Structure 1
Amino acid sequence: TRVLAWSTSTSPPPDLAGVPKDYHDFADVFSKAKASTLPPHREHNLKIKLEEGTTPPIGTIYSLSPVELQALWAFINENLATSFIWPTSSPYAALVLFIKKKDGSLQLCVDFWGLNKLTKKDRYPLPLISDLLDSPSRAKIYTKIDLRHVYHLIQIAPGDEWKTAFRTHYGSYEWLVMPFSLTNAPATFQCFVNSIFADMLDSSHKQHVQEVLHQLQLHGLYAKPEKCEFHSDSVEYLGYHLSPAGLTMSSEKVKAICDWPEPQKVKDIQSFLGFTNFYCQFISNYSDIVVPLTWLTCKGAPWNFSEECRRSFNKLKQAFTSALVLTHFSLEAPITVETDASDYAIASILSITSDDGQIWPVAFYSHTLTALELNYDTHDKELLVIFKAFWTWQHYLEGSAVPVDVVTNHKNLEYFSTSKVLTWCQAHWSEFLSQFNMVIQFRPGKLGAKPDTLTRRWDIYPKEGDSDYAQVNPQNLRPVFMQEQLATSLCAT
């Protein structure tokens, strides 16, 4: 039998200083005190189902510093007071560790790696960041609501609490609410949120916010008023700055890139590229710019931060400071995909044309060629970039009512769709591209500077029919088939 502590004292009213009066009827939603109480059992309790015949591992207790012990004691007392955790006699328990937060304070984490490995995975789909950023494309006003103790608002399913046990210097405890770092926590919470907002009707912005707050109030979810924004013409969202004009990088992230110190070792390069890769869709030719830096991360490559690497590093930082605004995609607007290929990379731009004839970029794409792709001849590289662009932006381009204009500076691609003889690779690309409503248009290289000013040496590629063509392009020594035969073969496989 478990006895839970409940406070009978009247909690102080929430601070509604930043909340418009239209929403003061939902003051409970912003209550810090109510967010610190045990939530009710719901249909969407977190269930932890283990693989057959498995048991969670037993974690080790590590030595902690006096500061960490103090933080651990405070964590235990705080969560016992809210009934989020409870003493346990579970024979299995995870270890705890600390990480430093930005402000220097300590964050306790329970290492559920062993438990997660044995847990049957909940495959409930999580939304893609790209879809979340596209969904408010026609919005003019934004409101952002930040939930408090977001995972702690859902209880562990009865009978599964013992699986969440963790060991400390002050005893073993188990979670009664959903902790962070459990493998199925994101899917469980997403399913819960989707269920409570499933029936919301389209309405004006204020009515919409009231409906959201009503659902939060109804289901016992609580927000942080100090982190909410109401009726704003722009908002920071998922690391981006979202406005009616489109997407830009968060100013905080741009500053972080600009202040990044020069790399001193391979791990520094990997950290920098890992950070910039998240925002590469803002940078035209990103993959081509980072080639010298990428080479340094190759296995066995000697460390030599040369002048070429330094130029690449500084050029990339400069590119982020001058990154364009990416406009919101619109199915009603004419769509253009511009492509280009160089010796080492391919690049493309997805754009739409506004009513006044202005062309606005929606996204940039670039890709460093693999060892196999480096051997492609010019024609195949130019075709590869079209395939990659449509693969990447398939969710935008599939089902377009008007033909998508594909602009290339390789004239032979204009006749690709009518070609009767294709290699295996070309047949695969053709099969995929055939589902799109697209028209390939030729634009000479000197006019096609927008996707890139990549250097191409057309003279180094022998022309098909030349005596040395097969020698320079051995990958083209493959059987060729009529397009109809290939289609039959592909369908059969």
Structure 2
Amino acid sequence: MPQKKKEIQSFLRFAGYYRQHIKDFASIARPLYKLCDKDTVFEMTADRVKAFESLREALTTAPLLLMPDFKLPFKLYIDASGDGLGAALHQVQIINDKPVEGPICFISRQIKPTEARYGASQMECLCLVWALEKLNYFLEGCVFEVITDFTAVKSLLNMKTPNRHMLRWQIAIQEYRGNMTIVNKDGNIHKNADGLSRWPLPKNIDNLLMCQKKLHHKSQ
């Protein structure tokens, strides 16, 4: 449960990214948006708790979450902040004869004390390596795009004199190079990953925040 306005704001950025998939989003979220008003004292009243729980439920259930189709490419949105790392795995599928991009799962974690010293470029590269590790089940052997707002992520692949961190990360992503394309876009394009990185899972938890159950896929 959010403990301060900053966390509510991050959650709303994240949920708002998927508002077109959530029925009655505006009316459900209204109590939370009012809580973000400058002069409103932070208090999670019953109606605000209900709004938060309703949105969280909507974000973790169909029809918002897609079942992965391993014959189609994936899109991996990543973002790192001073609070944590976040990633959202998407896919474009044909639904009702129209191409629709939707989420398959979301992941998030807080940064570790040793990582707090990293610069922004290092942090974004760390986010990529972490996301690939956590989502290997989905991405191994599949074609996918990585969407990031940092050019450093693309540079990581071709860096000729990397420091020890970058060298280790270069090695970690080698298995994906033939299937992975990195695309740089403005941060406003992927508020889904941005919201996750600014409202990460608690310390010592590094797991799927929301995800479909595992499927028996690659041998089928």
- Give TM-score scaled by structure 1 length: 0.28
Q: Please say which structure displays the higher CA radius of gyration.
A: 1
Structure 2 residue identity aligned to 1:377 = G
Structure 1 Cα separation of the partners of residues 171 and 77 of structure 2: 21
Verify the 8 A CA contact 2:85 2:196 in the aligned structure 1.
no
Verify the 8 A CA contact 1:408 1:441 in the aligned structure 2.
yes
Verify the 8 A CA contact 2:88 2:106 in the aligned structure 1.
yes
Structure 1 Cα separation of the partners of residues 78 and 57 of structure 2: 24
- Residue 344 of structure 1, CA deviation: 0.8
Q: In the superposition, relative to structure 1, how do residues 431 and 308 fare at CA in structure 2: closer, same or farther (>3 Å)?
A: farther
- Give TM-score scaled by structure 2 length: 0.60
Structure 1 Cα separation of the partners of residues 104 and 74 of structure 2: 10
Q: In the superposition, relative to structure 1, how do residues 322 and 432 fare at CA in structure 2: closer, same or farther (>3 Å)?
A: same
Match of 2:103 among 358, 361, 367: 361
> Unaligned stretches of 5+ in structure 2?
4-13, 16-40, 199-220
Residue 411 of structure 1 corresponds to 151
Q: In the superposition, relative to structure 1, how do residues 361 and 381 fare at CA in structure 2: closer, same or farther (>3 Å)?
A: same
Residue 347 of structure 1 corresponds to 86
Structure 2 Cα separation of the partners of residues 334 and 438 of structure 1: 10
- Residue 316 of structure 1, CA deviation: 5.3
Structure 2 Cα separation of the partners of residues 414 and 438 of structure 1: 11
- Residue 308 of structure 1, CA deviation: 6.0
- Residue 319 of structure 1, CA deviation: 3.7
Are 1:323 and 2:59 counterparts? yes
Are 1:395 and 2:131 counterparts? no
Structure richer in strand, relative to its length: 2
Match of 2:192 among 450, 453, 477: 450
Structure 2 residue identity aligned to 1:434 = Q
Structure 2 Cα separation of the partners of residues 455 and 391 of structure 1: 17
Are 1:372 and 2:114 counterparts? yes
- Residue 310 of structure 1, CA deviation: 4.8
Match of 1:420 among 156, 160, 163: 160
Structure 1 Cα separation of the partners of residues 112 and 42 of structure 2: 21
Structure richer in helix, relative to its length: 2
Give SS of 1:322's match.
helix
- Residue 357 of structure 1, CA deviation: 2.6
Give SS of 1:349's match.
strand
Verify the 8 A CA contact 1:342 1:454 in the aligned structure 2.
no
Count of aligned positions:
152
- Residue 447 of structure 1, CA deviation: 2.1
Q: In the superposition, relative to structure 1, how do residues 406 and 309 fare at CA in structure 2: closer, same or farther (>3 Å)?
A: farther
Structure 1 Cα separation of the partners of residues 166 and 85 of structure 2: 17
Q: In the superposition, relative to structure 1, how do residues 331 and 452 fare at CA in structure 2: closer, same or farther (>3 Å)?
A: same
> Unaligned stretches of 5+ in structure 1?
1-256, 264-283, 286-306, 457-493
- Deviation string 1:330-370 (CA, Å, 9 cap, x unpaired) is 11112110011111111100111113331121100001111
Structure 2 Cα separation of the partners of residues 309 and 368 of structure 1: 24
Give SS of 1:449's match.
helix
Structure 2 Cα separation of the partners of residues 331 and 443 of structure 1: 25
Are 1:338 and 2:90 counterparts? no
Give SS of 1:354's match.
strand
Q: In the superposition, relative to structure 1, how do residues 447 and 406 fare at CA in structure 2: closer, same or farther (>3 Å)?
A: same
Residue 122 of structure 1 corresponds to none
